[in-house]
Amino acid sequence: MDKFIYVDNAATTRLKPEVLDEMMPYLTEEYGNPSSIYKYANNSKIAIDCAREKIAKAFNAEPKEIIFTSGASEADNWAIKGIAYSLRKKGNHIITTKIEHHAVLHTTEFLEKQGYEVTYLDVDENGLISLEQLEAAITDKTILISVIFANNEIGTIQPIKEIGEIAKKHGIYFHTDAVQAVGNVEIDVKDMNIDLMSLTAHKVYGPKGVGALYVKKGVKLYPFIHGGGQEKGRRAGTENVAGIVGFGKAIELATTSIAEKVKKISELRDLYIDTVLKEIPYVRLNGHRTQRLCNNANVSFRYIEGEALLLMLDMAGICASSGSACTSGSLDPSHVLLAIGLPHEIAHGSLRISFGDFNTKDEVYYIVEKLKGIVSRLREMSPLYENVERK
Ligand SMILES: *Cc1c(COP(=O)(O)O)cnc(C)c1O
């Protein structure tokens, strides 16, 4: 068989067989609509309640604080637009960061066109925001602070509990996109003072197209999808029963024995990072050295085009991701890499490897071997590199 190594787990993950097993009945014989009143449909309703309880428990939330959505993009949109519209009378100022996912950034840009004011906090060279800058940005018009829990490109984990404390002290709602943190970090919404939190199933070995917004009791949000009375009238649309069941199972698996998994996966990450930094010249690691996701390795190779690198890795059977937004049809380098201060030409030569539960050490050795060859071949073709070599 052809080589196939999947190290793009920050983009999506493989469905776990245990998750599929739990979903199967709801894709086959248990097709009742949870809103129907006959007994047959009751199983669908119970399955949803059970998933809701599992998810709530994983984050120390109450079941009624978990509202199912189509994923994290919807949850991010809803949290931000929802608070913005609900609190319009109180204020029009939102604080977020320069390194959010586009589901947040494009939402705040949309709100700016409607008269909202948005502060985009800087991050330092490791990708961390400054708590002082955050507190200084708060005005009497501030209604929401939205900070990504752990960054999807460079893996940096923010001081979420401290941010929650600042938000609470000033009586401002705190939203976090926790997609990448789930299963990597213990999350306790009460302890961390989180008011709203976006989640998705497909980044933790669950199905695509299902996620949730955690909304703390007492937080008033306009419904985002209008229609039927599902989710207590807060999110209309017939529930994705099988998806929700799979989501529940995936979260349960992802949040049990986190420490063990983190240990195993960070070993792969560190093996990869250490070998690449040691064996390939003109390389830098992006993101915080220690305050980072256990599965994330983002490095920049000077004198290299990230897209060429990805294509050659693909030919070697390796699925990875670059630091540029090229996949979305633009050639601009990643806003995250620019925010940590990388010049365009270095940001362009970036490679994100994100490990997962299915990866092995042998795969890491194979990736590094291939990378060494590919990087030196690409550099041989680069006129910039030729100049460096001559000096
Ligand atoms: C993948 C991702 C999203 C989008 O989630 P979907 O469920 O695919 O809409 C949002 N935020 C972060 C940080 C992500 O990594």
DSSP 113-161: TTT-EEEEE---TTSPPPHHHHHHH--TTEEEEE--SB-TTT-BBP-HH
Instruction: Please list, in sequence order, all residues whose beta carbon lies within 8 angstroms of the beta carbon of residue 235, skipping any fewer than 6 positions away.
Output: 67, 68, 69, 78, 223, 224, 225
Kindly report the protein residue whose alpha carbon is nearest to atom 14 of ligand 1: 179
Question: From ligand 1's centre to the CA of 200, what distance in Å?
Answer: 7
The share of the chain scoring above pLDDT 90, in percent, equals 93
From CA 267, how far away is CA 37, in angstroms rounded?
A: 51
User: What is the set of active-site residues?
Assistant: 326
Kindly report the protein residue whose alpha carbon is nearest to atom 1 of ligand 1: 11
Task: Report pLDDT for 323.
Answer: 64
Give me the residue label for tokens 């109180």: 90
- HSE-CB at 354 with a 13 A cutoff on CA atoms is 24
From CA 354, how far away is CA 272, in angstroms rounded?
A: 11
Task: Report pLDDT for 1.
Answer: 60
Q: Could you count the other beta carbons within 10 Å of the beta carbon of residue 331?
A: 9
Probe residue for ligand 1, chosen from 200, 296, 335 as the CB with the greatest number of ligand atoms within 8 Å: 200
Confidence of residue 332 (pLDDT cuts 50, 70, 90): confident
- Average pLDDT on 125-132 reads 98
What are the residues facing 120 on neighbouring strands? 96
Task: Report pLDDT for 255.
Answer: 98
Task: Report pLDDT for 385.
Answer: 85
The number of the ligand 1 atom at minimal distance from the alpha carbon of 74 is 9
Confidence of residue 390 (pLDDT cuts 50, 70, 90): confident
Probe residue for ligand 1, chosen from 8, 179, 184, 335 as the CB with the greatest number of ligand atoms within 8 Å: 179
Tokens of 355: 């490990």
- Average pLDDT on 39-63 reads 98
Task: Report pLDDT for 327.
Answer: 52
Probe residue for ligand 1, chosen from 73, 100, 149, 158 as the CB with the greatest number of ligand atoms within 8 Å: 73
The answer, yes or no, to whether residue 364 has pLDDT greater than 70, is yes
Question: From ligand 1's centre to the CA of 10, what distance in Å?
Answer: 9
Looking at residue 311, what DSSP letter applies?
H
**What lines the ligand 1 site, CB under 6 Å?**
71-73, 101, 103, 148, 152, 177, 179-180, 200, 203, 211
b (16+ CB within 10 A) / e for 8-36: bbbbebebbeebbebbebbeeebebebee
The answer, yes or no, to whether residue 111 has pLDDT greater than 80, is yes
Task: Report pLDDT for 265.
Answer: 98
Question: From ligand 1's centre to the CA of 132, what distance in Å?
Answer: 28
Kindly report the protein residue whose alpha carbon is nearest to atom 15 of ligand 1: 152
The answer, yes or no, to whether residue 33 has pLDDT greater than 80, is yes
Task: Report pLDDT for 370.
Answer: 97
Kindly report the protein residue whose alpha carbon is nearest to atom 5 of ligand 1: 72
The number of the ligand 1 atom at minimal distance from the alpha carbon of 148 is 13
Question: From ligand 1's centre to the CA of 140, what distance in Å?
Answer: 31
- Average pLDDT on 228-238 reads 96
- Average pLDDT on 94-110 reads 98
**How high is the mean pLDDT of the chain?**
96
Question: From ligand 1's centre to the CA of 101, what distance in Å?
Answer: 7
